[in-house]
Structure 1
Amino acid sequence: MFFSLSFIVLFSANIPAGYAQASEDAMVTAYPVPSGLPSKYVSSDFTITAGNTSVPVYVSGENAWGNNVSYAALDTSGLTNVNINVHFPFNSYQLLPHSLGLSGTRNGNSVSVQVNPDTDVTLLLDGDYNGRVLHLFVRSPETNIPSMQDSHVIYYPPGYYDLSAQGPVQITSGQTVYISGGAIVRGRFLVQGSENVTIRGRGILLNDYVSGDGFDEVALALKNSKNIEIRDLIVARDQNAWTAFMWKSAQVDVLNYKAINARYASSDGFNIANSHDVLFDHAFIHTSDDSVAIKGTGNAGYDPAVDPATAPPTYNITYQNSQLWSDANNAIGIGAETLASTFDNIKFKNIDILRNFDDINYPDQLTERAAINICALNATTIQNITFEDIRVEKAKRLINITMEDDFWFGSLPGNWQWPGVIRNVHYKNITSMSDGSNEIRIYGRDAAHLIENITFKNIQIGDQFVSAFQSAYFRVNSFARNLELYSPENPNGITTDGPILPDGSTHHAAEQFSMEQGVNHWFYRTWQAGVGTRDMVWNLDGSMHWHGPKAWDAIWKADGELYFHPDVTQILLDWVSPRAGKIEINGIVKKSVVNGGDGVTVSIWKNNQMIWPSNGQWQVLEYNDNMGHETAASTILNKGDVISFRVDKRGTTDYDSTKWTPEITFID
């Protein structure tokens, strides 16, 4: 165990020209790097001074692109001059979020800015969200510090504590954990079956290891507990697992919590599962998965075979005045696990989403991801959800509500055999300055699992309000009901019952996949020589497949893509044109299972004529071809013409699962 003292410095400095005068009596507190801390945790990318006070800069680890993420913290009683020296060349900088109105000044490789207490600011260089960034947490002076002599207090004074060789510190009822400024604890904390617990302090909880001791591999876990306060803590984690979570807990306040875990992936910031009466206020989270995830993982752990009605509910959650950065998945997410009897009364308010990326390995391929997302895997009731005063700096899709069979290529299965609905969801004062698609996607599942009563009020993209559902942004399928849109142009609101595609012309086979023949003009069929064409039957055994008459002929959907498997029968995905016009066909067809077999053949037909490949010969997909072929074609249709996407075996049907997600667009 090592100790070092923090220091408090009276702020005084020469103010650069053009600065407003900072308060001369502001007190700046910085905490030196504790003796014994390995140098790998100290950032070499930046140095910081606040007035004449040196502020240590730490590194949490590398992001998905192999670049360090740095962070620092200081306490001050008033407006303070902060100088950041960058130790690598850069051309431009931004201080995020823009809602703070900070511009700063540059002198060579230094950026200076004046900041008030209780401000989180990020230095972004050259607009490179994948590059080396700095997060700075400026806090008010600490008050009501607990006594080291109190027998109910687990007290960590300044120093470095490596607890990685032991199990988590287990905190019991009535205890307080205090990590003082200048203390870094490399370990884990567990609150289980306890109440009236506080975990606080200006120190750092560090976790970058896997213990394998049977306890949860997270930095901080709350389980079956109540009346818990987490305050002022910085959690630095460098593992592809959740940073913190609560499960079956109640009356939890998480205040001024800062978490950085940029390791790809599953590095969620602080997950809330089957809990209620929870408040997050002034949080900052940078992850490479969901920054915020509100889940239902069941009464005894996630099991999709369990009826969600038997699981504890998730309700009365407020998340406000916070900043979020997600390098993968969602910034704000409800789901994907929704094994809870209900999700009710959940509010997000005054949130800056600094960054939301979908996935480094599968960019633009995962439809269930967004800056603001509800993704249900389990049939339950999700209702009375509010997103208000949300500002998005950088994202791809803006808003998504969807009901999925499974998540992440089938690794997390869902279950829709019970009733379920998503309703009464309200988006108010949502502003996006992002250069992404800003898509708003609302996709119910079927007539028994609808999305309904969704309100959009003052949705602003750039400097324009979205004033019509028939805009470039909305994509709504036929299982969404009663959507309302309000804007300055339409203050009394307009209503739609879907479906809506971006220009009324795009038909996406996976997004429009249904358990009913003919929905959205899609039909699921087989063909066999001497027998002809037959409609498939929806499998009611829980596998959620269309099946033909043989053992293996099937079409199914997983993680936003369609899968085909032939038998002695060919697989036909048929689309019947609702009108005349010229269309373009796109989509990549590739092998899904590449362990063996002899591959498949694929083709596209218009009525009884092959239109792709253009040479009139079926395209061969070798058994291990997981890159595939772009199936691009165009043709002119009459109403009622059939476009047929076909998959056939070669010699055997072994290992013949094939991915193919066609999209048809009218271009006239």
Structure 2
Amino acid sequence: MKYFFLIKLFLITPVLLAQELITYEAPTGVKYTAHNDDFTVKVRKPGGEWMDLFEYNVQVDLDNVQNASMVSFDFSGKVEVAVRKNNGNINKAQIRPLSYKISPEVNGNVITFTLDQPRKLSLEIDGDKLHNLHLFANPILKGKPDPKDPNVIYFGPGVHQPKDLPGDVFHIPSGKTVYIDGGAVIKAKLMIDHAQDIKIIGHGIIFQPERGVEIRHSKNISIDGPIFINSSHYTIYGGQTNNLTIRNIKSFSCKGWSDGIDLMSCSDVLIDDVFMRNSDDCIAIYGHRWEFYGNAQNYQIKNSTLWADIAHPTNIGLHGNAEAGGDLIENITFSNIDILEQDEDDLNYQGCLAISASDNNLVRNVTYENIRIEDIQEGQLFNFRVYFNEKYSGAPGKGIENLLLKNIQYNGNSANPSVISGYNKERPIKGIQIENLKINGKLIQNSNEANIQIRDFSEDIKFTKK
């Protein structure tokens, strides 16, 4: 019996040690101005004491700006979540992405569920996507930097805003680690300009800046963890930057041109485990624009959730150096992506997966793999075109080559016909393989079943299954 007890204790102890839960107080400077009272959210270790979370107000949807809610915390092991809806009844509660298959329990006006791994979720009551609760359950931050290290810029709990600098900007020099505590709120943009070897880490908030992080002519930059609430313009704006890593960021925007991650002439980029809810493109990859020059090559975008209240969840190729013959945009992979929405009424900017080759750009070697598209309000699944955009372009695109669409799923009935189109015989789209495309569970065998319009100057398009 003694040995049995010791073995049992040995087996249980690692599980107990793995249970960790960290919550953060909202700073006094935002507590009374940034709260949303639609929900009361609590979390606890299994069977432990409930801990209150602060429900931030986040604004969503440019067309009809509304107030939604957001909470965040860090944990390991398991965590129990309880959400009380403070106004109105609950007929149905749904947690998205649906691919996570999280089924909440509803008891009166209280919803409960359990998580056993970090997740970024949308809890929606009776189908309401505009007043929903966004819940960000982060992993425990490991290897926290020492705030006293001279190479660390530390934003501790509280509100931070520049005082002596012109504009709401914190400039980050080379070799620094920016550590944003989970209880910190930064009311400013972080600027990286002609710099290198910079890390931005932590689970704090960058609150209503002009832009979230602006990166210019730099290299070896890593951003991991922050929440960006309602930037006026881009969440992350990158120009002519190499070796850029973006992980575990969460973004909200509701204004014109308030894109998520827009990168111009950047190469060797990893975007991993992000949640983007934006009122413009969530992720856009371009060549030359403004003062940034060069090709865009070698991208991996994976394990992420994209929600475009308008415009594209993903967009490639619109901008380039038309006068110099265009740019090369190549070797791009999107994998393991959940797309929760596209609501765009302009046919010229539809497409959950969009390539808009313009400005003499050649776009090639693009893979979309394991993409799950939920029932969008208005848009298209695919829009791949070599075309001339009268508003933004100096020339039509040079072409699109070698696309692989593998294991794409769409469940819904609202999508408009997808489009595949070249420009002319010198500027075609060619070499598209569509493998294991499923719409509402049905394996698609051809363009008619897929509701795809294949227009002129489109070559070598194949549907396959494996």
* TM-score normalised by structure 2 residue count: 0.89
Deviation at 1:128, TM superposition (A): 2.9
Please give the residue correspondences for 1:85-234 in structure 2 after superposition, counting only pairs within 5 Å: 85-89=84-88, 90-129=90-129, 131-163=130-162, 166-208=167-209, 217-234=210-227
| Aligned match of 1:376 | 357
Q: Distance in 2 between matches of 1:138 and 1:440?
A: 35
1:353-397 deviation line (CA, Å, top 9, x unaligned)? 011111xxxx2x424411111112211210000000000012231
| Aligned match of 1:332 | 314
1:470 partnered with 2:448: yes
| Aligned match of 1:7 | none
Aligned counterpart in structure 1 of residue 382 of structure 2, from 399, 403, 412 = 399
Contact 1:338–1:376 (Cα < 8 Å) also in 2:
no
Contact 1:299–1:312 (Cα < 8 Å) also in 2:
no
1:244 partnered with 2:244: no
Contact 1:60–1:237 (Cα < 8 Å) also in 2:
yes
Please give the residue correspondences for 1:10-89 in structure 2 after superposition, counting only pairs within 5 Å: 26-37=19-30, 39-51=32-44, 52-64=50-62, 65-89=64-88
Q: Structure 2 vs 1, CA of residues 126 and 335 (structure 1 numbering), >3 Å: closer, same or farther?
A: farther
| Aligned match of 2:6 | none
Aligned counterpart in structure 2 of residue 430 of structure 1, from 397, 408, 417 = 408
1:228-255 deviation line (CA, Å, top 9, x unaligned)? 110111111242x222211100111111
Contact 2:287–2:296 (Cα < 8 Å) also in 1:
yes
Q: Distance in 1 between matches of 2:385 and 2:178?
A: 40
Aligned counterpart in structure 1 of residue 462 of structure 2, from 465, 484, 488 = 484
Q: Structure 2 vs 1, CA of residues 440 and 33 (structure 1 numbering), >3 Å: closer, same or farther?
A: same
Contact 2:288–2:294 (Cα < 8 Å) also in 1:
no
Aligned counterpart in structure 2 of residue 300 of structure 1, from 285, 291, 306 = 291
| Aligned match of 1:15 | none
Please give the residue correspondences for 1:401-420 in structure 2 after superposition, counting only pairs within 5 Å: 401-406=384-389, 410-416=390-396, 420=398
The structure with the largest alpha-carbon Rg is 1
Which structure 1 residue ranges, 5 or more long, are not aligned?
1-22, 209-216, 302-310, 492-668
Deviation at 1:156, TM superposition (A): 0.9
Aligned counterpart in structure 2 of residue 323 of structure 1, from 286, 302, 305 = 305
Q: Secondary structure at the match of 2:99?
A: helix
Q: Distance in 2 between matches of 1:356 and 1:116?
A: 29
1:418-444 deviation line (CA, Å, top 9, x unaligned)? x71100011000001122226331011
Deviation at 1:126, TM superposition (A): 1.8
| Count of aligned residue pairs for this structure pair | 436
* TM-score normalised by structure 1 residue count: 0.63
Deviation at 1:300, TM superposition (A): 2.0
Contact 1:404–1:414 (Cα < 8 Å) also in 2:
no
Q: Distance in 1 between matches of 2:296 and 2:206?
A: 27
For 1:113, give the aligned amino acid: F
| Aligned match of 2:4 | none
Contact 1:295–1:337 (Cα < 8 Å) also in 2:
yes
Which structure 2 residue ranges, 5 or more long, are not aligned?
1-14, 45-49
Q: In terms of mean alpha carbon deviation, does 314-323 or 330-339 score higher? A: 330-339
RMSD of Structure 2 on Structure 1 (CA): 1.8
Q: Taking every aligned residue pair, what percent have the same amino acid on both sides? A: 27
| Aligned match of 2:347 | 366
Contact 1:222–1:249 (Cα < 8 Å) also in 2:
yes
Aligned counterpart in structure 2 of residue 312 of structure 1, from 280, 294, 300 = 294
Q: Structure 2 vs 1, CA of residues 393 and 36 (structure 1 numbering), >3 Å: closer, same or farther?
A: same
Q: Structure 2 vs 1, CA of residues 382 and 230 (structure 1 numbering), >3 Å: closer, same or farther?
A: same
Contact 1:265–1:328 (Cα < 8 Å) also in 2:
no
Q: Structure 2 vs 1, CA of residues 382 and 62 (structure 1 numbering), >3 Å: closer, same or farther?
A: closer
| Aligned match of 2:3 | none
Q: Distance in 1 between matches of 2:79 and 2:182?
A: 19
Contact 1:43–1:70 (Cα < 8 Å) also in 2:
yes
| Aligned match of 1:421 | 399
Q: Which has the higher contact order (CA 8 A, sep 6+)?
A: 2
Deviation at 1:38, TM superposition (A): 5.3
1:260 partnered with 2:252: yes
1:388 partnered with 2:369: yes
Q: Secondary structure at the match of 1:95?
A: strand
Q: Distance in 2 between matches of 1:284 and 1:424?
A: 28
Q: Secondary structure at the match of 1:43?
A: coil
Contact 1:46–1:57 (Cα < 8 Å) also in 2:
yes
